[in-house]
Amino acid sequence: MGLFERIGRQVEQFKQTAKAEAERNAEYRCQACGERFEVDRDECPECGAEAVVARTDEEE
């Protein structure tokens, strides 16, 4: 495996890990599709629903 392939795989793994951790700690979620966000939104960019709410401690 070449150097650039190895670095590319490591970068992709880092991106996936960072995204998963950000979603796990997100404070808001869409009630319709479950997508999570760091900031409050009027509508979900994934599904377009106007059902974005603050997460509760029980949702951990």
Asked if 15 and 23 touch (Cβ cutoff 8 Å), the reply is no
What is the band of 55 on the pLDDT scale with cuts at 50, 70, 90?
Answer: confident
Residue 26: its H or E element: none
More confident residue, 12 or 56: 12
In tens, the pLDDT along 36-54 reads 888 888 888 888 888 888 8
The single-letter code of the amino acid at 26 is A
The pLDDT value given to residue 58: 52
> To the nearest 10°, the Cα dihedral for 8, 9, 13, 18?
0
Q: 0.75 exceeded by the pTM?
A: no
